[in-house]
Amino acid sequence: MSFIYDIVVVGAGPGGIASVVEAEKAGITNTLVIDKADTHSDMITKFYKKGKRVDKDWQGKKFEFIGNVRFEECSREEFIDQMEDLIQDEDIADKFLYNQEIYGVQKNEDGLFELDTHNHGTIKAKNVIVSIGRMGKPNKPGYKFPGPIRPVLNYNLSKVKEGEKVMVVGGGDTAGEYAYGLVDLGMNCEVTLNYRRAEIGRMNPINKETTEKYLEEGKLINKLGTDVESVEPSPVEGQVQPQVKVNFTDGTSEVYDRVVFALGGTSPKDFLNNSNIEMNEWGEPLYNEDTMATNIEGLYTIGDVNTSAGSIALAFNHAFQAVGDIVERNK
Ligand SMILES: Cc1cc2nc3c(=O)[nH]c(=O)nc-3n(C[C@H](O)[C@H](O)[C@H](O)COP(=O)(O)OP(=O)(O)OC[C@H]3O[C@@H](n4cnc5c(N)ncnc54)[C@H](O)[C@@H]3O)c2cc1C
């Protein structure tokens, strides 16, 4: 008979890490966490700017920790270190399996779940916690990205280089943080913020205030109130990589070294579909708010995959609730 885990967690972000820690605390040690990236906390590594403060009460919402996993407000780097320390302290590093993208979870007639991996065969589990976030598939604009400029049309700041002229597109918290964050990084970048509405309405109070202040002070170039109509290559003499010519709906055009789109992310609908998890009209899973249980017994969704108003503290709390339910069901 092949090996059967008590709990397999998909996703090694805050929710996934907290799930395996909560399981340990509850005496369930036969667990595995699978992530498509080559390390834990990959979304935070990729999408948070360097040195970003990691807030407990994210997006103006107050959170109380209800489980065993918590964190101190700190920088992005310190947060990742805190997670690494937690993994070492709990002695659970060997429970993480990286570089394996999972496309769905199947429950068989024998009541066991099966997860197919690239090079570790089919993994079997009694319970599965899905903590895959929602940043896997960033929202893309409707217009075409011509081939030559694709390398400089990005969804996060990781590729931005010293001294570049960058336009950030979007009106939410991530767009604000990218825009003023890039100014603060001291990389001598000229940063423009573009949003189709003339007013910023969708940011939390801190981000709104900071973004508006930077726009007023001219630290950020204001391109609010007009949408991007199309993007095209703008060749530069002696340079292989063309710049991006952006054509706006107000008839103006401007050339940038790079454009960063922060248009939000969508719930990974395909994964939920492949796993037969029932969803609402926005492609978010339907789950029990007390237990995190989906329509399939033994299958749980936690953290950002459940809600666009997610946070680290919420993902930690969801992990506690899901593991608590697994413990209850096995009594
Ligand atoms: C720019 C930015 C700033 C933020 N700042 C804060 C803040 O200050 N404070 C705060 O509390 N929150 C903040 N948040 C929100 C917070 O990061 C999230 O709520 C939190 O990371 C959610 O954790 P999670 O485990 O649900 O998902 P994620 O952190 O998204 O982790 C999901 C994991 O699943 C993996 N994965 C995805 N799909 C698959 C698959 N098919 N197979 C295998 N693995 C997969 C990914 O590689 C990833 O490691 C911020 C978010 C962003 C984007």
Judged against a pLDDT cut of 60, whether residue 1 lies above it is answered with: no
Ligand 1, residue 40: give the atom nearest the CA. Answer: 49
The pLDDT tens digits of the residues spanning 126-181 come to 999 999 998 766 788 999 999 999 999 999 888 899 999 999 999 988 899 899 99
Predicted TM-score (pTM) of this structure: 0.77
Structure confidence at residue 204 (pLDDT)? 75
- How far apart are the CA of 134 and the centre of ligand 1, in A? 7
Q: Which of 115, 133, 178 is nearest to 310 (CA)?
A: 133
The pLDDT tens digits of the residues spanning 111-127 come to 999 999 988 999 999 99
The pLDDT tens digits of the residues spanning 22-75 come to 999 999 999 999 999 999 999 999 888 788 899 998 877 888 999 999 998 999
- How far apart are the CA of 107 and the centre of ligand 1, in A? 26
8 Å CB contact between 327 and 28: yes
- How far apart are the CA of 192 and the centre of ligand 1, in A? 26
Structure confidence at residue 245 (pLDDT)? 98
| Average of per-residue pLDDT across 98-109 | 95
- How far apart are the CA of 238 and the centre of ligand 1, in A? 40
pLDDT range class, residue 268, cuts 50, 70, 90: confident
Could you tell me if the CB of 292 is within 6 A of ligand 1? no
Percent of the chain at pLDDT exceeding 90: 81
Q: Which residues pair with 113 in a beta bridge?
A: 107, 125
Q: Which residues pair with 115 in a beta bridge?
A: 123
Could you tell me if the CB of 102 is within 6 A of ligand 1? yes
- How far apart are the CA of 253 and the centre of ligand 1, in A? 35
Q: Which of 37, 33, 44, 59 is nearest to 131 (CA)?
A: 33
Domain residue extents for the chain: 4-136+265-329, 140-261
Same fold, 4-136+265-329 and 140-261: yes
Q: Which of 48-57, 297-306, 322-331 has the lowest mean pLDDT?
A: 48-57
Instruction: Look up the CATH number of domain 4-136+265-329.
Output: 3.50.50.60
- Strands (E) across the chain are located at 4-10, 31-34, 53-54, 74-75, 96-97, 106-107, 113-116, 122-130, 137-138, 153-154, 165-169, 190-195, 221-224, 228-234, 243-248, 253-256, 258-261, 265-266, 299-301
Question: Is 140-261 in CATH node 3.50.50.60?
Answer: yes
| Average of per-residue pLDDT across 2-22 | 96
Could you tell me if the CB of 123 is within 6 A of ligand 1? no
Structure confidence at residue 266 (pLDDT)? 59
Could you tell me if the CB of 176 is within 6 A of ligand 1? no
Ligand 1, residue 102: give the atom nearest the CA. Answer: 42
Structure confidence at residue 202 (pLDDT)? 75
Judged against a pLDDT cut of 80, whether residue 227 lies above it is answered with: yes
Structure confidence at residue 252 (pLDDT)? 98
User: Which of 36, 184, 275 is the pocket-test mutation for ligand 1 (most atoms within 8 Å of CB)?
Assistant: 36
Ligand 1, residue 310: give the atom nearest the CA. Answer: 19
Could you tell me if the CB of 285 is within 6 A of ligand 1? no
| Average of per-residue pLDDT across 269-285 | 89
Structure tokens given for 295? 């329509």
Structure confidence at residue 312 (pLDDT)? 97
